[in-house]
Every structure is written in C-alpha cells, then in structure tokens.
C-alpha cells in the first residue's frame, strides 16, 4: 500500500498540512467558510510537533499490526484488508479511548464536537494523494509505496 512518509528535515512547521486536513474534513470543504464557521469543531488529523527549528508532521501510520484495531472494544476501528487503511467507523465508536491508550504515535484524538468519537487520519481515501501531502510546500510529506521510498527519501538512513 501507499503510505505517507515523513521527511522531517524538510518540514518548516508551516502547518498547512493541518489546515488542509481540517478543510478536507469540514462540512463545507471551503477554507474560509470552514475556518469562520466550523473551526472549533474540526480537529486536524495530522499533528505538527515543533521545538525551535525542529519540526515534523505526523499522522496515523496505518500500521500492519495496528494496536488501535486490536484494542477497539466496539469493532469501530478496522483495517481494510485490501487497502491497508485503518479507519474508525464513527457510528460504532463509543469513545472509550482504548485506541488512544495504545497508539504509540499518539495520533488519535478525542473528537468531542458531537457524539464522542475517535478522530484519526483516513488517508483521504477519496483523493489520489492525501491533502496534507498535496499541500505541503516543501515535500516534507510524501505519499508512495515502500519500494519507492527506499530510493526517494533522504531521512531514511540510520533510522
């Protein structure tokens, strides 16, 4: 499967990934409208961490043996056997936060805007390229197969 790879050396901490993620997961899908009217309700599903000049953006890694899927008591968190994408079925989720307890990346958030549910990256399944990757001005996020990754990423050595 294609995954999002992180090139932290290239991240400038501009947080455009977070903004486009929020717009993508808004009702209106329009940046101005989303920010004026829906902002408080939309969590970005990609997180930028930053200390000084050091920053990176991280979202769900869609792990092969995903601990969040294992821990989910309601059957809401599922890994699609064909695509490999891990998604949370919001109708089934009861907000027990077991997924938050086990995700070693800490990339699942509590969405309290309506019924309590777990909020996480869905890899923008309906887009060819996830919006955080599309809109990164510096290629700090890349969307590619594992094979392509070996050739194309700088931060891949010594890790």
Binding residues for another protein, rule: CB under 8 A, are 3, 5-6, 8, 47, 49-51, 54-56, 58, 61-65, 67, 70-75, 91-92, 94-106, 108-110, 116, 146, 153, 155-156, 158-159
Between residues 32 and 158, which has the closer beta carbon with respect to another protein? 158
Minimum distance, C-beta of residue 33 to another protein, in the bound complex (Å): 28
Give the total residue count for the chain.
159
- Contact in structure between 110 and 97 (CB atoms under 8 Å): yes
Torsion sign across C-alpha atoms 86, 90, 93, 98: positive
Q: Which residue has the tokens 């808004």?
A: 26
Minimum distance, C-beta of residue 128 to another protein, in the bound complex (Å): 21
Minimum distance, C-beta of residue 116 to another protein, in the bound complex (Å): 8
Minimum distance, C-beta of residue 124 to another protein, in the bound complex (Å): 18
Can you spell out the DSSP letters for 53-94? TEEEEEE----TT-HHHHH-SSS-EEE-TTT--EEE-TTT--
Between residues 55 and 135, which has the closer beta carbon with respect to another protein? 55
């Amino acid at each position: 499967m294609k995954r999002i790879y992180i090139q932290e050396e290239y991240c400038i901490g501009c947080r455009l990934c977070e903004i486009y993620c929020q717009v993508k997961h808004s009702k209106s899908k329009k940046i101005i409208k989303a920010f004026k009217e829906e902002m408080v309700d939309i969590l970005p599903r990609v997180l930028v961490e930053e200390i000084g000049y050091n920053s990176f953006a991280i979202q769900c890694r869609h792990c092969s043996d995903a601990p969040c899927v294992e821990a989910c008591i309601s059957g809401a968190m599922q890994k699609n056997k064909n695509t490999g994408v891990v998604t949370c079925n919001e109708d089934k989720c009861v907000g027990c936060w077991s997924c938050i307890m086990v995700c070693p990346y800490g990339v699942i958030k509590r969405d309290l805007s309506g019924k309590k549910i777990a909020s996480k990256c869905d890899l923008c399944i309906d887009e060819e390229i996830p919006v955080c990757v599309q809109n990164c001005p510096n290629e700090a996020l890349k969307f590619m197969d594992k094979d392509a990754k070996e050739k194309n990423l700088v931060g891949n050595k010594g890790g």
